[in-house]
Amino acid sequence: MFVIFNPFAARATPGTSNQPVKTTPISSPYADGQKAKPTHTSTVKPQATPTKTVKPTPIPTKAVEPTPTPVPVVALVNWDNATSVKYTINAVNVRSTPYTDGAIVSTLEAGAEVTIYGSINGEAVSNSPIWYRISDQNSNPEYIYSGLLTTEKPAPAPAPANSNANCTGTEGQMVDVNLSAQWATFCNNGKVDNSFAITSGQPDLPTPTGIYHVFNKQSPTTFYSPWPVGSPYYYEPTHINYALEFKEGGFFLHDAWWRSTYGPGTNVPHTDPQFGEMTGTHGCVVMSTDQAGWLYGWAPMGTTVNIHY
């Protein structure tokens, strides 16, 4: 048997043992011929917690209201035991309080009949503080200054010379309308009860002539145009305070609150000083609201209406 001596065989050192060799990790970017993938350390930034802004509670600002103008102290009305009648001397304003700065409720024409319910001390005008209450206790207050009223009924306005109105010999009540003079006279058993200017139909829509009788009375009412929209004669639905129909087809005696003047020249194109350009009516006979109100109470059903030139 041959023993082969290997001079390179490792000799064991007595008292020592073979320990595993600790190696230092390779930090080179290349290991085993492969490019190492660098390890990135992700730095997590702490998320900022939003700071809540605390808004101060608003302090309510109290609005400073203007000091109201004191309303005049109105004395108590001295109510009359019975009503009385007076007449306006000139055109007058009816006011909501017995003061000249009171709201204007309406305006009455000269010679208008006014019912007096009582009197009250108000603003002194022309050295007198007396105002008349012309509305009853259940209605809104209406006042007229005492110096603007009279107990004497004014004479009717004289008819124009060309009115041809003659009440002599007439029986009952009759309305005489002269289209040439643009004037109406109101006869009552041979005498004149009233007389004033009117406006009649425009040239294209004249007021019919003849003798008629009132057969329909309406207060208030609304007129609707018989002409279609687009027609030169069309008009919007119109409120009417007093209407007396005298001929079939919608021919009325009525108020025309949208006019300020009546009489000669108002039945043809003209300029109204208050309402501008206009012409005559659609065939009706019109007057002021106060006059129409008087006529409505004066003329019973069946009243004769004589229309002529």
CATH of the domain at 281: 2.40.440.10
Pair 195, 294 in one domain:
yes
Q: Name the percent of the chain lying above pLDDT 70.
A: 75
Of 167, 187, 282, 284, catalytic: 284
Nearest to 285 by CA among 181, 166, 161, 172: 181
Name the pTM for this structure.
Answer: 0.56
Is 167 one of the annotated active-site residues of the chain?
no
Pair 130, 223 in one domain:
no
- pLDDT beyond 90 at 79: yes
pLDDT at 273: 87
Q: What is the mean pLDDT of the chain?
A: 83
Is 270 one of the annotated active-site residues of the chain?
no
- For 236-278, write each residue's pLDDT tens digit: 999 999 999 999 999 999 999 999 999 999 999 999 988 999 9
Domain count of the fold of the chain:
2
Is the distance from CB of 125 to CB of 145 less than 8 angstroms?
yes
Of 167, 187, 254, 282, catalytic: 254
Query: Regarding predicted confidence, which is higher, 189 or 157?
Result: 189
- For 126-179, write each residue's pLDDT tens digit: 889 999 999 999 999 999 999 999 998 777 667 677 777 888 888 999 999 999
Burial of 266 (0-12, 13-18, 19+ CB in 10 A): buried
pLDDT at 169: 86
| 49 in any annotated domain | no
Tokens of 199: 């406006």
The span from the first CA to the last CA of the chain, in angstroms, equals: 176
Domain carrying residue 102: 78-150
| 42 in any annotated domain | no
Where a domain ends, among 150, 170, 189? 150
| Amino acid identity, position 31 | A
Where a domain ends, among 127, 150, 173? 150
What b/e sequence results for 216-234 when a residue is b if at least 16 CB atoms lie within 10 Å of its CB, and e otherwise? Answer: ebbeebebeeeeeeeeeee
Pair 98, 179 in one domain:
no
Q: How confident is the model at residue 73 (pLDDT cuts 50, 70, 90)?
A: low
Residue 140 neighbours by CB under 8 Å, 6+ apart: 96, 105
Q: How confident is the model at residue 26 (pLDDT cuts 50, 70, 90)?
A: very low
- pLDDT beyond 60 at 14: no
Pair 140, 211 in one domain:
no
pLDDT at 168: 86
CATH of the domain at 86: 2.30.30.40
Where a domain ends, among 131, 150, 169? 150
